Copies of this chain bind each other. A is one copy, B any other.
């Protein structure tokens, strides 16, 4: 590690004692289960309502089940989790509020749009490294039905979507963080700024978020004095095809080529050709489920030694959109490393 203190550069944090990712759990919907990562998720829900009567309750149930599974996979009891850091895309974060209430665990509610898993892992790892909890949990969720209702149109309206649009992932991902255990370690963070290029197209969120991803990734390189090749993978959340190209172009202008290392969760979770998902997947659940099911196991296996995980969020509401406001972006970066050949 490059740190001699916990503050690194102007915008980053390095942990003297890296924080362990002890377990990860992911539950997704049917469409995600039919995608290229289908065999990697813990559970696939065949019923989009998850046994409930509304999209919002469905998402709450999805998040609740995922949290329970992550705690069980960490071989812990609910009371051992000191705090939950949770968020979703719905107004007033109701999927989280109703999803995790019954665990009886202290909760900090977060909102960072689709960057929320980056925010949850950041704040959760700061808490563990600071000695504020032996175990904390980070979770986010999204649901295609609840997100369409929240941001766009009722599903029954059957609106068409341009090719730049993304498809909100029905899924929830959760990680238990702790002071030891597991081979995947969070070693550093770069907290994102709100970056606004003035773009206003809510059906091209990749373009809205790419400048924020660029800003955070560039700052991570500066703060830790690293180059793209110092990472095995640089994983953004849900830029999609359109956003990916913009990110590459923006970083190229600053002299960095990340095309070899870059991967986008939104481009991994669906087969755009056969699943009609246009630019890719999106939503709080996209980065979270792909991280837990696909990225984390490869780090734990030592296949990837150091990964920069950068969930990306588009900061809009239907009110701000209807009032003609722009869609600023934000991206929070988490450095995850394999603890070494020998494991723990």
A192 on the interface (CB 8 Å rule)?
Answer: yes
Contact A131 B191 (CB under 8 A): no
Stretch at the interface among A25-33, A96-104, A235-243: A96-104
Contact B317 A108 (CB under 8 A): no
Return the chain B residue nearest A54 by Cβ.
B323
Contact B130 A126 (CB under 8 A): yes
Contact A82 B132 (CB under 8 A): no
**Shortest distance in angstroms between A160's beta carbon and chain B's nearest beta carbon?**
24
**Shortest distance in angstroms between A108's beta carbon and chain B's nearest beta carbon?**
6
A203 on the interface (CB 8 Å rule)?
Answer: no
CA of A109 to CA of B330, assembled, Å: 10
B-facing mask of A315-332, CB < 8 A → 1, else 0? Answer: 111111001010010100
Contact A107 B194 (CB under 8 A): yes
Q: A98-B320, A191-B108, A328-B97 are in contact. Are A6 and B132 (CB under 8 A)?
A: yes
B-facing mask of A160-178, CB < 8 A → 1, else 0? Answer: 0000000000000000000
Which of B82, B317, B330 is in CB contact (< 8 Å) with A91?
Answer: B317
CA of A320 to CA of B150, assembled, Å: 12
CB within 8 Å of B: which A74-133 residues:
79, 82-83, 87, 89-94, 97-98, 100-101, 104-113, 119, 122-123, 126-127, 129-133
**Shortest distance in angstroms between A97's beta carbon and chain B's nearest beta carbon?**
4
Q: A6-B130, A91-B91, A132-B6 are in contact. Are A107 and B318 (CB under 8 A)?
A: no
CA of A293 to CA of B122, assembled, Å: 32
Count residues of A near B (Cβ-Cβ below 8 Å).
Answer: 62
What chain B residues lie within 8 Å of A255 (beta carbons)? none
CA of A323 to CA of B123, assembled, Å: 32
Contact A193 B126 (CB under 8 A): no
What chain B residues lie within 8 Å of A134 (beta carbons)? 7
Contact B109 A316 (CB under 8 A): no
Contact A315 B92 (CB under 8 A): yes
CA of A122 to CA of B109, assembled, Å: 12
CA of A119 to CA of B85, assembled, Å: 11
What chain B residues lie within 8 Å of A7 (beta carbons)? 82, 131-134
What chain B residues lie within 8 Å of A127 (beta carbons)? 126
A201 on the interface (CB 8 Å rule)?
Answer: no
A13 on the interface (CB 8 Å rule)?
Answer: yes
CA of A330 to CA of B87, assembled, Å: 15
A-B contact pairs, 14 of them (CB 8 A): A5-B131, A6-B130, A54-B323, A83-B191, A94-B315, A100-B194, A101-B196, A104-B193, A106-B192, A107-B191, A109-B110, A109-B315, A109-B330, A126-B132
* Contacts beyond the supplied A92-B111, A94-B316: 18 A-B pairs with Cβ under 8 Å: A7-B82, A7-B132, A7-B133, A7-B134, A11-B106, A83-B191, A90-B317, A92-B113, A92-B317, A94-B317, A98-B315, A98-B325, A101-B193, A101-B196, A107-B194, A109-B330, A123-B123, A150-B319
